[in-house]
Amino acid sequence: MHSRRNHLTKRSYRFADLFAGIGGFHLAFHELGAECVFASEWDEYARLTYARNYRKMSPQLFSSGRFAGDITKIKDKSTLPDFDILCAGFPCQPFSQAGRKLGFGDRRGNLFFQIRDVIEAKEPDAIFLENVQHLLRHDDGKTIRRIRKILEKDLGYKLFERVVRASDHGLPQHRPRVFIIGFRNHDVNFVFPEKRELRLTMSDVLRGKVDRDVGFTLRVGGKSSPINDRRNWDGYRVNGRVRRLTPDEAKLMNGFPRGFSFPKEVPASEAMKQLGNSVAVDAVRDYASTIIEALDALPRRS
């Protein structure tokens, strides 16, 4: 789909896709040879987009009824299918500027504890979590320290953490996000992936001359702000004229292929919201590749 330097799995790996959105984790891991055996997403519009794009890619996920809605309604997490890697871009709004930074005081922030419960029940070999970089500063660092304590001390994972920009992994937007990666086996040799050059610029995305190679971070709020306003993120000067991003252009900025499509039932405003909430696929793929490489080098659990 894209030319890339990625480590294809030597073993067969299964992954779960929690708070799946429109499937950036699914796309990245599937391209590396892993199989999605469980996914959950409660937003109805996002579910439509997810099903449209992954039903043919992962038919067993849908035929087995393992594309779930609200994860909180699955009380006994041990009933989930077994998997090796847990992926979760858990809701970022409680920790972001847009979400008023309420953190665990927001119901969405409490969804992190659903991740904890799944990890505790299923004990995957690796976890891969993504959130806004403000998570590291939220509540004077108390939130991230609590998350680390749960993952390291309570659940026993060795953690690796880094703020990752989409623009450092080939995509033309900044999009700084914190990646939290953990392994059950503390003997793991995990190496952060190298940065890479842009594989496309905003001029490629907008098919005209744009005065910046790297675009603004795709967001949920502030759409259609004046182009010189600090809140602007979707307005660009293309060949000297101001125009707004379309969903088809925004998806390229997040690393989704041109063939990725939104169902007709999903309004353009919802499609842009989905992209504003999505992970950057190329960045996730680079890290997924190094996770798989590290797991390949470990002995299999009996």
Q: Could you give the CA distance from residue 149 to residue 165 in angstroms, rounded to a whole number? A: 25
pTM for the full predicted model:
0.91
Of 258, 280, 68, the C-alpha closest to 169 is 280
Of 91, 89, 158, 72, the C-alpha closest to 128 is 89
Q: pLDDT digit string (tens) for 217-267?
A: 999 888 889 999 999 999 999 999 999 999 999 999 999 999 999 999 999
Q: Residues 7, 35: contact at Cβ < 8 Å?
A: no
Using the structure block, give the residue that is written with the tokens 């660009």: 236
Mean pLDDT of 104-118: 73
Q: Could you give the CA distance from residue 69 to residue 301 in angstroms, rounded to a whole number? A: 31
Question: Strand ranges (DSSP E) for the chain?
Answer: 14-18, 35-40, 67-68, 85-88, 126-132, 158-165, 176-183, 235-238, 241-244
Q: Which of 12-16, 98-102, 213-217, 278-282 has the lowest mean pLDDT?
A: 98-102
Of 16, 108, 134, 11, the C-alpha closest to 66 is 16
Q: Could you give the CA distance from residue 204 to residue 252 in angstroms, rounded to a whole number? A: 10
Q: Could you give the CA distance from residue 84 to residue 35 in angstroms, rounded to a whole number? A: 10
- Quick one: pLDDT at residue 221? 80
pLDDT at 40 over 70: yes
Catalytic pick from 46, 61, 74, 92? 92
pLDDT at 172 over 70: yes
Of 215, 249, 251, 248, the C-alpha closest to 233 is 215
pLDDT at 23 over 60: yes
Show the domains of the chain with their CATH numbers: 14-198+279-296 (3.40.50.150), 202-273 (no CATH)
46, 82, 96, 143 from 140: Cα distances, Å = 33, 36, 14, 8
What type of residue sits at position 191? V
What type of residue sits at position 18? L
Active-site residue flag, 87: no
Q: Which of 28-32, 134-138, 196-200, 279-283 has the lowest mean pLDDT?
A: 134-138
| Opening angle at CA 52, ends 108 and 178, nearest 5 | 40
Mean pLDDT of 91-107: 49
Query: How many helices (H) and strands (E) in the chain?
Result: 9, 9
Predicted confidence band of residue 8 (pLDDT cuts 50, 70, 90): low
